[in-house]
Structure 1
Amino acid sequence: EKVIFDIYRHIEGKAGTPPSNDIYAIAEDPQGNMWFGTNQGLLFKLDIASMRFEPAITHPDLDNKSIRAMVFDRRGRLWMGTTNGLWQFIPQKKMFIRYDESDGIQGSIFSRALLLLKDGKIAAGGTNGLNLFNPDEVPVNTRAPRVVITGFKIFGQPIRVGVPLNGKIILHEAIEETKEILLPHNFNYFTLSFTALDFTNPQKNKYAYILEGFDSKWQYTSAGRREAIYSNLAPGQYVFKVKAANNDGIWSTESAVIRINILAPWWKRWWVKFLAALLIIGIAGSYIYRKSVLARQREEELNALVFQRTQELLEKNNLLQEQQARLEEQAEELRRSTENLAETNKLLLEKQKIIMDQTAQLEKSNEQLRLINASKDKFFSIIAHDLRNPFNVLIGLSDIMLRNYDTLPPEKIRRYAEIIYLSAKSGYNLLENLLQWSRSQTGTIAFSPVKVQLISLIEETIDLLAGDAERKKIHLSHDIEPHMVVWADESMLLTILRNLVSNAIKFTPEGGKVKISAQLNPDHWVQISVSDTGVGIPQHVIPDLFRIDVSYSTKGTANEPGTGLGLVLCKEFVEKHHGKIWVESKEKVGSTFYFTIPSEPL
């Protein structure tokens, strides 16, 4: 049998080729894509679907460090043994985390031995021994550190509050509270010290600072050098900013900021320049005045000659001007008549257009109002019909129990009580959805999105509906990652989840399964899905599921009532978040409802 090998080489300037030929390590991710590590610390991926190599990514601490071994754990995180410690890379966030001796590993230099064991643990070998660990138990410090400015020196001398330097007080309050520092022009050599208030592993903290007005880019430094030194700065206004990253590379959300104003020397101040300018203007003015006196005398002589000649020409021109004036008067009168006619015609056309536009707008508004009234009439007819059913059950069974309570066996009473409970809960859910929908239509419902842990809302929904699932012996589960967050209104998101999971339980037979899943897309949207093994939805019904003007009401596998209002409310709330909702279904196999929610503010 003939075997064919494809060879891929790096071609400078050509996209889609490997970023490097010096490959040391290879690993396959859960999606089947191949990842490569190089001797220069570069990491890149081969997309199997397109067979194209993506651009390389790296970390400053991996620059020119060899990636010797790689392996993916069960959650899709890439672990790398390098000549500069053990690294974790999260592909979805493109986030690097470094571990060294301070984290308990054998050393900073790893060999080409890195293995994922059957129990999910990872074995990593290095020059000083072997590390065996469970990647799910490795903590990640996600708290962004707060950074503060702790010291200020001039020419290497610490500056204290209220203590003068060369007769001038520099700091009037603690440096941590100071917003602006004024310095004479000769105090232009200074040092700023700073630190991060995160002590999880402080020796691994990183810092970045910039002096706006001087630095063109951020300057990066380590925990061993927490100061910035500047010298020979020109007079002017500067802004110093510093930020920090914790031991796992999470950068602070806010920078510590202080303004530094270096005053100009007296000979460069505005009033000195102003006096010099006045002196120059005075000298130039005297010279110009002398020249103007001589020019004025010559001008007077020329003016006398010009006046004489002009008088002669004026007499000859007067006759021509009189004739020209008569012709211009006649032309002006003709022009005014033409303009009046054109203006009148333009006004008539504008009025005609306004009348036509108003007529079309009135017809459009009238048609929209007719459709809205028809939809609302049909909608309230559906609600009245579906709300009457649970109340009929409540009235009928409670009447039977009142009249025959003494003769009914306990199992009958229990069965009637269960039916009354289910009917009351159905009516309550219907009224709750109706109230939420009504508030959304009138604009009185508050929309307050915040960053929230998705798993907490999923577990709250499962706890709320666990009783319904247990009664039908349905397995209700989820596979949500603990650290997944969304940017959403908690109340609205709970309403969406409650309706979708409740519908899935309702239309799934006994012994079935309902599962909630979520994934973070590269465009910072979280796609949430609720899937079931229920009866499915006919294809001709799916386009009308989320429409309020179309009635689709059917009973569940245990004759649970339904109105379709919950899906209308889900669509309203998802669109409040600028997301989308859709369904994929196959009859007698099951359905999956999808919707998207942003993971961060839009």
Structure 2
Amino acid sequence: MNNNNLGKYDITSKELKLYHTESGNRLDIFSTRGFYYADDSHMYLGGKEGIITFSPKELSVNEYAPEPIITNVRVQNKAVEIGSVINGQQILKSDINIDRNLVLKNTNKNFSLTFSSPSYVNGRQNRYSYILEGFDENWNTVDVRQRTVQYTNLFSGEYVFKVKAMNSHGVWSDVASYQIEILPPFWFTYKAFFLLLLVLALAFYLIRKQIRTRIVLKQQWLMERVKRERDEKLNNEKLRFFTNISHELRTPLTLILGPAKQLIEDGKDSGNYFQQSRYNLIHQNANRLLNLVNQVLDFRRAQSGELRLKVTKTDILLYTKNTFRSFEELADDKKNQF
């Protein structure tokens, strides 16, 4: 024994039971010199304020060790009552010791639990041991002054909080278990995963559609380019052909105009008006045909950028009269009033 504890040793079971000054006796302190063993039924123990007597055989062991219960829950440093709402979540719908279940959103993953044992025989000597399976690796043993345990920033998942109590005589209770679940944030849920897949699928579809559209447009552009180049080449071939023909026609027309002009000059002295008009008609149409050939050549020069605009003053009335006279013979043959 010492000033605070008295020990009882069983030589058969070799167990040692300690009785503290607060184990129900009326002494605040034991006196190591005030001890008297009278017989197996009487033992006297002195203290600071008196003497007590007891029988060592009648000392009993407190076998009552009930399961501990959770007496207080705090979430985000706020006390939780039944029906309390924290960050938009109703934490408890009933007593946690009935459901043995606690579900918290990811925004409420900081919480603390306070537990106690309904054993009131020398309660200050009770001890507790707890573990949070999924987080703690070993059991943690504390006394009555450390009955609150706090957990912060736990990962989302399922945990099991287990706690057991030991009474003043060293008897452990059964383990009390509580299921605790931390819900994942929205971006870690199946809904977020499905939405992400949907967005990726939509983006893939749009990108694929855009790529296909660009490929089609590029093919159309290439086809238009090939067609345009082919048309330009065909037009150039046509112009080259007409230019060559025009050059070939220009020489005979020049050769026709010379004799026609000479016939007109020679016919002035003959006085034959009908024959003179025929010579003039040949000369006018040949000259007009030569002008048309020259226009074809000028058009070719204009496309190549070699032709420059030259503005001249002319008699439009004389030009229209010449055109009119070119069709007089045709009108007379067809008996048309021209």
TM-score (norm 1): 0.30
Residue 163 (structure 1) shift: 2.6
Q: Corresponding residue for 1:207?
A: 128
2:119 is the counterpart of 1:198: yes
Code of the aligned partner of 1:222: D
Judge conservation of contact 1:86–1:108 (CA < 8 Å) in 2.
no
State the Cα distance separating 1:185 from its structure 2 match: 1.4
Q: Tell me the alpha carbon deviations over residues 281-340 of structure 1, each in whole angstroms, 9 at most, x when there is no partner.
A: x8xxx9xxxxxxxxxxxxxxxxxxxxxxxxxxxxxxxxxxxxxxxxxxxxxxxxxxxxxx
Distance of 1:146 and 1:114 partners within structure 2? 37
Aligned with 1:136 (options 57, 62, 65):
57
Say yes or no: does 1:186 pair with 2:100. Answer: no
The answer to whether residue 257 in structure 2 is matched with residue 257 in structure 1 is: no
Residue 239 of structure 1 and its aligned partner are, at CA, apart by 0.6
**Contact 2:89–2:105, Cα closer than 8 Å, also in 1:** no
Letter in 1 for 2:166: A
Q: Give how far 1:119 is off.
A: 4.8
Q: 1:166 to 1:279 in 2, by over 3 A?
A: closer
Larger relative CO (CA 8 A, sep 6+): 1 or 2? 2
Q: 2:139 aligned with 1:218, yes or no?
A: yes
3-state SS in 1 of match to 2:132: strand
1:150 aligns to 2:68 (yes or no): no
3-state SS of 2:57 partner: helix
Amino acid in structure 2 at the alignment position of 1:269:
T
Q: Are 1:266 and 2:176 counterparts? A: no
DSSP-derived class of the 1:103 partner: coil
Q: 1:277/1:239 Cα in 2 relative to 1: closer, same or farther (>3 Å)?
A: farther
Aligned position for 2:311: none
Q: Distance in 1 between matches of 2:98 and 2:18?
A: 33
For residues 259 and 179 of structure 1, what CA distance do their matches in structure 2 show?
6
Are positions 1:234 and 2:120 aligned together?
no
Shift in alpha-carbon separation, 1:279–1:166, aligned structure 2, 3 A: closer
Q: 1:208 Cα shift?
A: 1.9
Letter paired with 2:38: L
Whole-Å separation in 2 of the counterparts to 1:102 and 1:209: 25
Aligned counterpart, 1:417? none
State how 1:176-575 maps to structure 2 within 5 Å.
176-252=97-173, 254-270=174-190, 272=192, 275=196
Structure 2: tracts of 5 or more residues without a match:
209-338
Are the equivalent residues in 1 in contact too, given 2:91–2:103 (CA < 8 A)?
Answer: yes
Q: Tell me if the contact between 1:99 and 1:105 (Cα under 8 Å) persists in the aligned partners.
A: no
C-alpha separation in 1, matches of 2:200 and 2:184: 22
**2: CA distance, partners of 1:277 / 1:104:** 74
On the 8 A contact 1:111/1:127 being kept in 2, the answer is no
The secondary structure found in structure 2 opposite 1:116 is strand
**1:98 aligned residue:** 19
Decide whether the 8 Å contact of 1:185 with 1:235 is kept in 2: yes
Displacement of 1:108 = 4.7
Q: Is residue 87 of structure 1 aligned with residue 7 of structure 2?
A: yes
Q: Work out the CA distance in 2 between the residues paired with 1:234 and 1:245.
A: 31
> Following the alignment from structure 2 to structure 1, what is the Cα–Cα distance between the partners of residues 167 and 192?
50
**What 5-or-longer segments of structure 1 have no aligned partner?**
1-80, 287-602
The aligned residue for residue 15 of structure 1 is: none
Change (3 A) 1:216 1:93: farther
Q: Secondary structure at the match of 2:17?
A: strand
2:73 aligned counterpart, secondary structure: strand
Partners of 2:17 and 2:23 lie apart in 1 by 17
Per the TM alignment, residue 236 of structure 1 is displaced from its structure 2 partner at its CA by 1.6
AA of the residue aligned to 2:101: E
1:170 alignment partner in structure 2: 91
The 3-state SS of whatever aligns with 2:107 is coil
Residue 225 to residue 110, structure 1, CA distance change in 2 (3 Å): farther
Please report how far the alpha carbon of residue 256 of structure 1 lies from its aligned counterpart in structure 2 after TM superposition. Answer: 2.0
Counterpart of 2:106 in 1: which secondary structure?
coil
- Give 1:113 deviation, angstroms: 6.6
- How far the C-alpha of 1:170 sits from its partner, in A, is 1.0
Write the letter of the residue equivalent to 2:178: I
Residue identity matched to 2:186: W
1:375-408 CA distances to partner (integer Å, 9 max, x unpaired)?
xxxxxxxxxxxxxxxxxxxxxxxxxxxxxxxxxx
User: Structure 1's 90 and 153: CA in aligned 2 closer, same or farther, altered over 3 A?
Assistant: farther
CA contact (8 A) 1:239 1:260 kept: yes
Q: 1:8-35: per-residue Cα shift (whole Å, max 9, x none)? A: xxxxxxxxxxxxxxxxxxxxxxxxxxxx
CA gap of 1:210–1:96, structure 2 versus 1, over 3 A, is: farther
Code of the residue aligned with 2:76 in structure 1: it is: F
Query: What SS does the aligned partner of 1:243 have?
Result: strand
TM-fit CA distance, 1:104: 1.4
What's the CA shift string for 1:133-191, capped at 9, x where partnerless?
32123232222323222221113322122232222111111122122211111212212
Greater share of helix: 2
Contact 1:206 1:245 in 2 (8 A): yes
With over 3 angstroms needed to count, the CA separation of the structure-2 counterparts of 1:265 and 1:93, relative to structure 1, is farther
* Structure with greater Cα Rg: 2
- Asked if 2 retains the 8 angstrom alpha-carbon contact of 1:101 and 1:108, the reply is no
C-alpha change, 1:264 and 1:129, in structure 2 (3 Å) is same
Quick check: 1:150–1:175 contact (8 Å CA) kept in 2? no
- Change in Cα spacing, 1:129 to 1:237, as seen in structure 2 (3 Å) is same
Percent identity over paired residues:
32
